[in-house]
Structure 1
Amino acid sequence: MRIAVKLSILSLFIFLFSCKPDNGNWTHFRGSNMDGHAEVEKAPLTWSETENVVWKVPVKGLGWSSPVAFNDQVWLTSAEEDGTKFYTFCFDLETGRLLDEKTVFVSEEPQRIHSTNSYATPTPCIENGRVYVHFGTFGTACIDTKSFDVLWKRKDLKCDHMQGPASSPILYQNMLIVHLEGTKDPYVIALNKSTGETIWKSVRPAEIYDPLEPVYRKSYQTPIVVNVDGKDLLISNSAYMCFAHDVNTGEVIWTFTYGFDSTVSQPLYWNGLVFVNSGWIFEDNKPYFTRQFAIDPTGRGDVTETHQVWMYEDEVPQIPTPVIVDGRMYMVHDRGMVTCLDAMSGEPVWKEKLKGNFNASPIYAAGNIYFFNVKGECTIIKPGDTFQKVAENSIDGIVKAIPAFVGDKMLVRSDKYLYLID
């Protein structure tokens, strides 16, 4: 009887331990669940260049990609400002020591990019034993995180980005999914993550995209996968329209049409609704505004007229992705206006102007929301039905990357350094 009791207690302990959130890893753009939520119980509230910085290391080149972390490693990408060399770095999480550096790709005639972009803006994704890096048309690769050997490369996935690469890759089961949506034949492709071989490729429909001006076909968003009625759908808010693909085959299940080009903000999924950003809406050939849509994802075919739940268009961001906490959507406009919406109705709850311009998406961590502006200033607020500022902190340099939260610490990437903040 005593042995049975002990075994029962041991089994319960193992079960409870397995249910604890995995707060030591940050595997994708906007977190391990790609929802802007950090699965941590504590997070830094006070820091500066001289306070609560565990380590600060220089990063060669320039990149706006965010760090990813797994176990005791932090991975980051960068590139030369002229786009001739593309780098990967692995740092020790505890000490900041550089464990590996590679020039993983080179380019003799790099495409031009927008002055606000970099050649290393897509964020890597990582899992146990492997990290996957993507530089758009310049190359995609898989690296062994133990030996640091490059396991496979693809340099044939071509795209005329026009303004440079920005879409981040994602992992789904045995696939690495990447978007290469430029000015000609934009497409999404699923690769075998073990070999790099193509599993499926879906080119945007020629009958819709060919009549568009090339500038209106480009997109820079990162997709998500959601489960709808037992089927996993890849939600891809491309230029001009959003596509829901069967993630296993690439088949298009439904589409939603909204506008023109340069979608950047990542889709969201909460409480049965998909939330997508339109990118720029043009009037008289000039960018007018962006719109945020809530869509019921249970339809088939063209659902533009049938499955829109709500639309909001007042100071909707183009680049930063909103975050949803307890039924409230918090979004920061590129020029600093924070709006809190009711996620189910789209009705505004409050607005508050923050100082500075914003590229980084807000992150919810340990009960607070973190907003980093381009100048490295971070405003921390408490989510709720009124604006509640918790703290303000800053680091030197330009910050466009999203912070990563691991354990009770935060990784922040500026234009020249990578920080670990306690």
Structure 2
Amino acid sequence: MKSYPLIASAALIALLAGCAGKVEPEYPPSELTAFDPQVVLDERWDQDVGDGLGTARYPITPTLDDGRLFVADQSGLLRAIDAENGETRWEVALDAPVSSGLTAVAGRVYLGTRNGEVLALDQEDGEEIWRSRVSSEVLAAPQANRSLLVVQSVDGAVTALDRESGEERWVYTTNQPALTLRGTGTPRVIEQVTFAGFANGRVATLDNRSGQSLWDLRVAVPQGRSEVDRLVDLDGQPLLTRDGRLYVTSYNGRLLALEATSGEILWSREMSSYLTPLLVGDTLFTVDEASHVLALDALSGRLLWESDALEGRWLTAPAFVDGHIALGDYEGYLHLLDADDGAIAGREDLGGDGISLPLLADEGRLYIMTNDGELSAFDVEPVED
């Protein structure tokens, strides 16, 4: 059996849901080496958020809106925190175990649960506004436009709910393979359409009026004899630009740049990744399954630089802060790479049983939650001569 990466740290939870037996990492974690620091990370505040992500490492990514962080733990603790000083504004205990990332928009907080419920809560006090049930467990953060809340559940179904009432508007279903990655693609939702990637290696554009597919495309082709070898999951979130380009990553597949309205391929690169890419100007940053960090020309796909300094360290999706690419790793280190050339510019050891959630960046500040629930805010400062 081919070896596959793991997404957890101490517990070494296999990336493959449903795959029995021991799974050895294909890329042993690289040792961290000395470097000449260009920036330092100044911790502004920190606090513990319940029991964190739990042993299953649920992807309960915090969200930021109107100067407040909204965070939760896997047991149902939900908290609003002042992003500037770390003070708790309010805290509630939900009667459901949280399993998805959070989304905060227009005065509400949305999240999903392990028992297939979606909750809408008031940003001012955490009071529940409505809850609805979808077809299965929710791991991907619900995504909103002005009228809909779109939820992708682990069985591959995409459900559109009315944002005001929680009533179901439409459901789009796909055929799921026997084995998938531990995770779910997060849809990209705009006013007219939803872009969604699936565990069968396809990406589809759905009409938000009806849920009907406008076009769909195979991003990754299953290869190999066993079901494990044939995994082609799309676990990241499609990245949409203002001028209508769509970037999609896939596991055991390709990185594609597409024309969003038609699905026409603009360029393609053979690459295996289960993380969401990042666009800064005309540069696309992505992390592959080996935890190599790549910078590509977003218009042509040309490689600008590639760093293997953090190979095998199970990096998070990239974030951009103050000219640097920020990434967390399985041991709890926060790394900053120079966005121009990929050189390591800064590092901080947060511990916390590792970092698996994407980092939040906002105007020179980073917000990081470790797997055991320690939430910290860091300012990025240049090293003084």
Paired AA for residue 245 in structure 2: L
- Correspondent of 1:269 among 240, 246, 255: 240
Paired AA for residue 197 in structure 1: E
- Correspondent of 2:195 among 235, 238, 251: 235
- Whole-angstrom CA distance in 1 between matches of 2:182 and 2:45: 38
Question: Is 1:325–1:383's contact at 8 Å kept on the other side of the alignment?
Answer: no
Query: 1:328 aligned to 2:298?
Result: no
- Whole-angstrom CA distance in 2 between matches of 1:266 and 1:153: 24
Question: SS at 1:402's partner residue?
Answer: coil
The structure that is helix-richer by fraction is 1
- Correspondent of 1:131 among 90, 109, 128: 109
- 1:227-376 equivalences under 5 Å are 232-240=192-200, 241-257=202-218, 258-259=220-221, 260-270=231-241, 271-279=243-251, 289-299=252-262, 307-314=264-271, 316-318=272-274, 320-355=275-310, 356-376=312-332
- Whole-angstrom CA distance in 1 between matches of 2:184 and 2:140: 5
- Whole-angstrom CA distance in 2 between matches of 1:181 and 1:415: 21
- Whole-angstrom CA distance in 2 between matches of 1:261 and 1:218: 12
- 1:119-268 equivalences under 5 Å are 120=99, 122-135=100-113, 137-154=115-132, 156-159=133-136, 165-182=138-155, 186-204=156-174, 209=175, 213-215=177-179, 220-225=184-189, 232-240=192-200, 241-257=202-218, 258-259=220-221, 260-268=231-239
Question: Is 1:333–1:358's contact at 8 Å kept on the other side of the alignment?
Answer: no
Question: Is 1:192–1:198's contact at 8 Å kept on the other side of the alignment?
Answer: yes
- Whole-angstrom CA distance in 1 between matches of 2:315 and 2:344: 20
Question: SS at 1:222's partner residue?
Answer: coil
Shift of 1:418: 0.7
CA RMSD of aligned residues (A): 2.6
Q: In the superposition, relative to structure 1, how do residues 148 and 325 fare at CA in structure 2: closer, same or farther (>3 Å)? A: closer
- Correspondent of 2:371 among 415, 418, 421: 415
Identity across matched positions, percent: 18
Question: Is 1:267–1:274's contact at 8 Å kept on the other side of the alignment?
Answer: yes
- Whole-angstrom CA distance in 1 between matches of 2:183 and 2:82: 34
Rg larger in structure: 1
- Whole-angstrom CA distance in 1 between matches of 2:246 and 2:270: 17
Query: 1:78 aligned to 2:41?
Result: no
Shift of 1:136: 5.2
Aligned residues: 322
Paired AA for residue 129 in structure 2: L
- 1:128-187 deviation line (CA, Å, top 9, x unaligned): 421111225442111112232111112x3132x6xxx431111101211110141xxx31
Question: Is 1:403–1:410's contact at 8 Å kept on the other side of the alignment?
Answer: yes
- 1:105-128 deviation line (CA, Å, top 9, x unaligned): 337xxxxxxxxxxx63x2111124
Q: In the superposition, relative to structure 1, how do residues 273 and 95 fare at CA in structure 2: closer, same or farther (>3 Å)? A: closer
**Structure 2 unaligned runs (5+)?**
1-37, 54-58, 222-230, 380-385
Q: In the superposition, relative to structure 1, how do residues 248 and 137 fare at CA in structure 2: closer, same or farther (>3 Å)? A: farther
Q: In the superposition, relative to structure 1, how do residues 407 and 273 fare at CA in structure 2: closer, same or farther (>3 Å)? A: closer
Using structure 2 for the length normalisation, give the TM-score: 0.75
Paired AA for residue 413 in structure 1: M
- 1:27-176 equivalences under 5 Å are 45-47=39-41, 52-63=42-53, 64-79=59-74, 85-106=75-96, 120=99, 122-135=100-113, 137-154=115-132, 156-159=133-136, 165-176=138-149
Question: Is 2:139–2:153's contact at 8 Å kept on the other side of the alignment?
Answer: no
- Whole-angstrom CA distance in 2 between matches of 1:138 and 1:246: 23
**Structure 1 unaligned runs (5+)?**
1-43, 80-84, 108-118, 280-288
Q: In the superposition, relative to structure 1, how do residues 216 and 362 fare at CA in structure 2: closer, same or farther (>3 Å)? A: closer
